[in-house]
Amino acid sequence: MLIRLSCFALAVSAAAQTSWVSFQDPIEHAFALDVPKGWTAKGGLFRMGYSDARPMVDIQSPDGRVNVRLRDVSIPSYFVPNQSHPREVEIYYLGAQAQLTVARYRSGQEYAALYAKSLFKTACQSLTTQQSAAPAPLKDFLA
């Protein structure tokens, strides 16, 4: 699923040739991926607990107008309310292993809309989301 943010203009040129360079996780060397040459890539594998490893890569175009985020370390692990943990947003600590956040189930579209509004509220005052049934391949955005 792709949620396009209407306050950001995204210029896509199919004729442009993009060259790629390798970005490797600088923290644990757990992964590597190709990113467009000249773009800024930051991220890595972050350990929030023994069994809670979260990869994240943030890639930004040279002009700062396009930001591609692969995963997000700030998104916690969730589980749905149950008899032991009935209240939404309650934190369930597993010691040094991890921590879980209690939250009702949300569809991908619902969660993506809430996430986008939370993440971009300072950068985009009049944020609106546009639903897209089929996401465009990432290469179309980077061409």
pLDDT score for 139? 61
Q: What is the pTM of this model?
A: 0.64
The residues, ordered by sequence, that sit 6+ positions from 96 with a Cβ below 8 Å of its Cβ are 49, 50
pLDDT score for 142? 55
Taking residue 41's Cβ as centre, other Cβ atoms within 10 Å add up to: 19
Place of tokens 């991890």: 98
Residue 116 has pLDDT above 70, yes or no: yes
pLDDT score for 112? 84
pLDDT score for 8? 40
Tokens of 5: 């943010």
Place of tokens 């309650």: 90
pLDDT tens, residue by residue, 5-48: 444 434 444 335 789 999 999 989 999 999 999 999 999 999 98
Domain residue limits, the chain = 21-72, 76-120
CB 20 within 8 A of CB 37: yes
Mean pLDDT of the residues in the chain: 79
CB 37 within 8 A of CB 19: yes
pLDDT score for 6? 43
- Mean pLDDT for 51-63 is 92
